[in-house]
Chains A and B, each alone.
Chain A
Amino acid sequence: MDGSKQIPGMCITVLLLSVKCKEVSSREKCQESKSLRPTISVKKMDRVLCPGEHGEENGSVMEHKTIPWQIFPVLSDQQSQGVELVLAYAVPILDKKKTSRLVKEISAVYPLEGQQHLKRVRACTDKASPHPLEMLICLAKPGKEKAEGLHTLSELLPDKQVDCCGLGEPFLVHVPAHPPLTRMQFEEAKFHWPTAFHEDKYVTSALTGHLFSKEEKVKMQTYMKQAIWAAQQGAEKGMKAIGAVVVDPATEAVLAVGHDCRSSSNPLLHATMVCIDLVAQGQGRGTYNFKSHPACSVSSLGNRDPSASKAIRAGTVRKFESRDNGLPYICTGYELYITSEPCVMCAMALVHSRIQRVFYGTASPDGALGTKYKIHTRQDLNHRFEVFRGILEDQCCSLIKDS
């Protein structure tokens, strides 16, 4: 059974019940961990002082400052690519009065299945045209027209199902192959043939830079500054200058701060992997010991009772997947702020961890959230998340260059 197609309601029950059982074992397990697995240590962060935080947590201080960066959504290829065109047969409507009958009859023969975005009739683009309207008949078979020449009207509508009186001779026209997903695609699509557009307001506002308010951007900048701070701490110790923080947007709490810890003794401790493990440590588990990296820390704020949180957003999965003790399922509902675009390993780790959003400063050569792949948009994976690039891009970029 494909898990991704299951009913959410079913999952909730399963989760809640699982959680209850799990808690019983977690206490036992924790005790064992202490005696048998000394490598596990959870540092409770006493709010590591990060330069980005000073006086800037309060949005009003920043109010007068302008935000010196732009944020860009990293959309799927389908959303960001140009409009794909296909050839279709259209026909002039010589007698305008017969339009509604013709639409009815031709639609019965050629319902344009899967092409519901295409309008059947268009006003003639050429003002000098002798006929006022043109009508779409059907999609052309690619290549066939070139080989056999254009079909005539009687070939296209052979069985007298349509009274062709009032129609001119068919011609070929380029029409958009898919429904437009963004306003930009819509503008391009309708240039070729009138196209319906069900605008996703969320995507449009993301594309036009209106998704986040000034106050939100100030907060986002604070988080990214903490990530930059972590990157610098790591770099000072010879690590790759990449930093990251995990934030619970519902409580605005920073749950984990980490930097790249890759070394010959563990080449896989990329900043994302560090942060994912820190979140697990915040939930009493985890795998690695970051004692020698004091800038990698877990916040005790993450254990706060969520009922105290200001803004548990209605309708988010997190609400349903939260544990009895209020802690979310691994990274469900959380946001990652990271100075550089994650690699394939880290991007897929974020899929497995159910992150909600990733904000990265600057692109990476083998990045998997926009550069080489868009792992977060893949329909064939069972979790997708939003990705934005550009917060403090210049600073994030120079971190890498300087190291």
Chain B
Amino acid sequence: MRLLRAGKQRPSRIRSPVCPPSGSSPGNSSCGPLTFRCPLSSAWLPACACSAALVSRASSCGSGMEETTTAAVAARGVSVSAEEREAWMEKAMHMAKEALENGEVPVGCLMVYNNEVLAKGRNEVNQTKNATRHAEMVAIDQVLEWCHHCGRTPTEVFEHTVLYVTVEPCIMCAAALRLMKIPLVVYGCQNERFGGCGSVLDIASADLPNTGTPFKCIPGYRAEEAVEMLKTFYKQENPNAPKSKVRKKEGHKC
């Protein structure tokens, strides 16, 4: 219900060249945005998958995480300690929670370069009517903007940037991350419907010599929680629920 309440539109987001690593995101206004999703259409959804499918995998990725959580991980010269990963994923989870509270798809996404957050992406599919505006794509553009602003070479920056995202990037985003030559992606739960890091296709490590470079993945960070948020989100929006029609109609009154 809350999802469809017509609040005032929040101000359009102005991207700050450098997003602070903490504090409220620009999108964290108290009034919920008017968001609409066709439950059938992936176009209106971000990289996150349907709750049911995700739930089934949550436990498995949680256990797979055990080996990697304790050690520092290096990928193409970029090394992140377990503490760092945890701290950034904590922030990403917080973003996802904020999104959920605002009736948005609960996905948190951060791009971190030299311990500095260059981008905080959120799904902008509805606002832009462009189905490719997943949080990761938005974040990539923010980093590009930052590079432009600071006179930095994008390739140099991306090659030392780590993506922290609460849901496995989809096939499109995984290919985009390859093209940007990002070395490392840390994520929460699997994306059973569109996942590009192994769930549907493994674009992250595929042999695609003309599509950037493969990247390393560390999956499973607080996967159950990430799934739980998606589950909550989809429960509110579940089109198969008998109440759905009524809810939509009520929403329409706005």
**Complex Cα distance A284/B130, Å?**
11
**Complex Cα distance A179/B39, Å?**
33
Q: Which residues of B contact A (CB under 8 A)?
A: 4, 6, 9, 11-12, 14, 34, 36-43, 50-53, 124, 127-133, 137, 140-141, 144, 147-148, 153-155, 170-176, 179-180, 193-194, 196, 200-201, 203, 206, 208-211, 234, 238-240, 244-245, 248-249, 251-252, 254
Does A128 lie at the interface of the complex (its beta carbon under 8 Å from any beta carbon of B)? no
Whether A352 and B131, one on each chain, are in contact in the complex, defined by CB atoms closer than 8 angstroms, is: yes
Whether A345 and B130, one on each chain, are in contact in the complex, defined by CB atoms closer than 8 angstroms, is: no
Instruction: For A368, give the chain B residue with the smallest CB separation.
Output: B175
Total contacting residues, chain A, CB less than 8 A: 63
Whether B34 and A10, one on each chain, are in contact in the complex, defined by CB atoms closer than 8 angstroms, is: no
Instruction: For B210, give the chain A residue with the smallest CB separation.
Output: A366
| Given known A-B contacts A13-B245, A283-B129, A372-B208, A344 and B203 have beta carbons under 8 A apart | yes
Whether A2 and B251, one on each chain, are in contact in the complex, defined by CB atoms closer than 8 angstroms, is: no
Of B6, B12, B176, B252, the residue contacting A345 (CB under 8 A) is: B176
**Complex Cα distance A264/B6, Å?**
40
Residues of chain A within 8 A of B154, CB atoms compared: 264-265, 267
* Complex interface bits, A333-368 against B, C-beta within 8 A gives 1, otherwise 0: 000000000011100110111100000000011101
Does A273 lie at the interface of the complex (its beta carbon under 8 Å from any beta carbon of B)? yes
**Complex Cα distance A18/B124, Å?**
17
Contact residues of A between 250 and 285, Cβ < 8 Å to B: 264-268, 273, 276-277, 280, 283-285
Q: Which residues of A contact B (CB under 8 A)?
A: 1-4, 6, 10-11, 13-15, 17-22, 24-25, 28-29, 32-33, 36-37, 264-268, 273, 276-277, 280, 283-287, 321, 329-331, 343-345, 348-349, 351-354, 364-366, 368, 372-373, 375, 378, 380-383
Whether B41 and A329, one on each chain, are in contact in the complex, defined by CB atoms closer than 8 angstroms, is: yes
Whether A276 and B39, one on each chain, are in contact in the complex, defined by CB atoms closer than 8 angstroms, is: no
Residues of chain B within 8 A of A368, CB atoms compared: 175
Whether A11 and B239, one on each chain, are in contact in the complex, defined by CB atoms closer than 8 angstroms, is: yes
Whether B124 and A11, one on each chain, are in contact in the complex, defined by CB atoms closer than 8 angstroms, is: no
Whether B4 and A273, one on each chain, are in contact in the complex, defined by CB atoms closer than 8 angstroms, is: no
Whether A15 and B175, one on each chain, are in contact in the complex, defined by CB atoms closer than 8 angstroms, is: no
Whether B249 and A348, one on each chain, are in contact in the complex, defined by CB atoms closer than 8 angstroms, is: no
Of A37, A265, A286, A344, the residue contacting B171 (CB under 8 A) is: A344
